[in-house]
Amino acid sequence: MIKNIISGKIVKVAENQRVLKFNDQKLEQILTPGTHRFRSFKNDLSFESYDLNKIFFDSENIERLFRNCDELRSHVEHIKLADEEIGLFFVNQQLKGVVAPGESVYYWKDSAEIDCIRLDISGQLAVEQKTQFLLHRSGANAASRLIKSRNTVAVQPMIEFYIDKNHIGLLYINGQLKGSLEPGVHAYWNFNQSIEVKTYDLRTQVLDISGQEILSKDRVSLRINLTATIQVMDAQLAARSVDSLDDYVYKTLQLALREAVGTKSLDDILLDKLYVNETVKELVSDTLQEIGVALKSVGVKDIILPGEMKAILNQVVEAQKAAEANVIKRREETSATRSLHNTAKVMENNPTLMRLKELEALEKIADRIENLTVYGGLEGLMNGVVKIA
């Protein structure tokens, strides 16, 4: 807005201008395009110039001027929205912005072809898909495009929520649950209401409880990594029960793991590898079921011992294996001795078998000798009368 004080001069109004003429600060006339001559010896005339290209009529005294001047009402249009209404403001059939609820809009009738479509949002905050597309295409869903008064805070007219596939959204308006949202894009008018959407993944999820430093019953420090698979079965129950579902499940599994490990010695834990899994699942399953979550499985990935404890345990294992190897060696030696004893008893009562064993021994000896001369026949051979060359 440009203010001019002119006395006894010519006022020229361009085609895209309207000028308000004030006489002693009282609106007296609307000057249209052309040349206007005025003479005032008291210097009590003043003028305000407005550009029609800006469309809106904006003045500090806009309400009083519009109410008291019939001529101004013939040039300016006034739109007043209820507190539960919004307006889609079209200029030359193009959406230019959104009028906030409860706002008053003053615009020059000659500026363009103006239309304002009113929408009642008292019972329906959801934005139709056609309107969503229109707001995005025109760029009207920006805080800068909100048509408002000086005292109104600029907000984004439409707020959108995207629900991914295999997810579910819970819609809260002013803190109250209003329903569930299926996968897709959901849009709501962002006026006079607090709108929130909580999203839950309905697929089976893997949760890692890593790097847990826990003392066993015999005070051995263990570092354990646990993996659990969970699935949200009732999103509304979960939302009512806990604020942060992931944090709650994590801490519940963490405490159960500490309880399971802290009540057993290291030897018991290493001996029964399924103990921790079964105990944690038993401690947690019912608790998670109460908040609408199913615990599918639990498994210990790693049990890590401190360096010195690992060395001691390796020595114990090495000694156990050495003892087992020694027992096996003695058992084999005993078995071999027993076998020799049995063979000797059999040969003692069977001369023929004894003679066969002797021949077998001679055969083995003969294999290592190139020339063997026997004197006295078989009797000489058996009595050792031989010449070895």
pLDDT tens digits along 34-85: 999 887 767 778 889 999 999 999 888 888 999 989 999 999 999 999 999 9
Asked whether residue 4 carries a pLDDT value surpassing 50, the answer given is: no
If one compares 330 and 14, the residue with the highest pLDDT of the two is: 14
Q: Which of 63, 60, 57 is nearest to 30 (CA)?
A: 57
**What gap in Å lies between CA 222 and CA 211, rounded to an integer?**
9
| Residue 358, in any domain of the structure | yes
pLDDT of 315: 61
End-of-domain residue from the set 305, 333, 357: 305
| Residue 135, in any domain of the structure | yes
pLDDT of 7: 44
Asked whether residue 339 carries a pLDDT value surpassing 90, the answer given is: no
Asked whether residue 385 carries a pLDDT value surpassing 60, the answer given is: no
Asked whether residue 6 carries a pLDDT value surpassing 50, the answer given is: no
For residue range 217-248, what is the model confidence (pLDDT) as tens digits?
877 778 889 999 999 999 999 999 999 999 99
How much is the mean pLDDT over the chain? 84
If one compares 88 and 389, the residue with the highest pLDDT of the two is: 88
Write the CA distances from 360 to 364, 365, 378, integer angstroms: 6, 9, 14
pLDDT of 366: 67
Asked whether residue 382 carries a pLDDT value surpassing 60, the answer given is: no
| Residue 222, in any domain of the structure | yes
Asked whether residue 8 carries a pLDDT value surpassing 70, the answer given is: no
pLDDT band for position 376 (cuts 50, 70, 90) = low
**What gap in Å lies between CA 259 and CA 279, rounded to an integer?**
9
pLDDT of 3: 43
Asked whether residue 254 carries a pLDDT value surpassing 70, the answer given is: yes
Mean pLDDT of 115-122: 92
Mean pLDDT of 320-341: 74
Between β-strands 205-215 and 221-232, what pairing exists: parallel, antiparallel or unpaired? antiparallel
Residue range of the domain that includes 222: 205-305
- Same domain (yes/no): 346, 246: no
pLDDT of 158: 94
| Residue 9, in any domain of the structure | no
- Same domain (yes/no): 190, 86: yes
For residue range 283-316, what is the model confidence (pLDDT) as tens digits?
999 999 999 999 999 998 888 776 565 555 556 5
Mean pLDDT of 167-189: 94
End-of-domain residue from the set 197, 219, 252: 197
| Residue 31, in any domain of the structure | no
- Same domain (yes/no): 114, 189: yes
| Residue 24, in any domain of the structure | no
Ramachandran bin of 175, using left for φ above 0, alpha for ψ from -120 to 50, beta for the remaining angles: left
For residue range 83-110, what is the model confidence (pLDDT) as tens digits?
999 999 999 999 999 999 999 999 999 9
Asked whether residue 389 carries a pLDDT value surpassing 60, the answer given is: no
| Residue 66, in any domain of the structure | no
Report yes or no: 228 and 248 within 8 Å, Cβ to Cβ: no
Report yes or no: 157 and 86 within 8 Å, Cβ to Cβ: yes
- Same domain (yes/no): 211, 180: no
pLDDT of 2: 42
pLDDT band for position 328 (cuts 50, 70, 90) = confident
pLDDT of 39: 78
pLDDT of 1: 41
pLDDT of 295: 95
pLDDT of 375: 59
Number of domains within the chain = 3
- Same domain (yes/no): 92, 168: yes
- Same domain (yes/no): 106, 139: yes
pLDDT of 308: 61
- Same domain (yes/no): 127, 189: yes
- Same domain (yes/no): 292, 209: yes
| Residue 56, in any domain of the structure | no
Structure tokens at 293: 């979550």
For residue range 137-169, what is the model confidence (pLDDT) as tens digits?
999 999 888 988 766 778 899 999 999 999 999
- Same domain (yes/no): 281, 340: no
End-of-domain residue from the set 151, 177, 197: 197
- Same domain (yes/no): 141, 225: no
- Same domain (yes/no): 222, 192: no
3-class SS letters over the chain: CEEECCCCCEEEECCCEEEEEEECCEEEEEECCEEEECCCCCCCEEEEEEEHHHCECCCCCHHHHHHHCHHHHHHEEEEECCCCEEEEEEECCEEEEEECCCCEEEEECCCCCEEEEEEECCCCCECCHHHHHHHHHHCCCCHHHEECCCCCCCCCCEEEEEECCCEEEEEEECCEEEEEECCEEEEEECCCCCEEEEEEECCCEEEEEEEEEEECCCCCEEEEEEEEEEEECCHHHHHHHCCCHHHHHHHHHHHHHHHHHHCCCHHHHHHCCCHHHHHHHHHHHHHHHCCCEEEEEEEEEEEECCHHHHHHHHHHHHHHHHHHHHHHHHHHHHHHHHHHHHHHHHHHCCHHHHHHHHHHHHHHHHCCCCCEEECCHHHHHHCCCEEEC
- Same domain (yes/no): 248, 347: no
CATH number of the domain that residue 280 is part of: 3.30.479.30
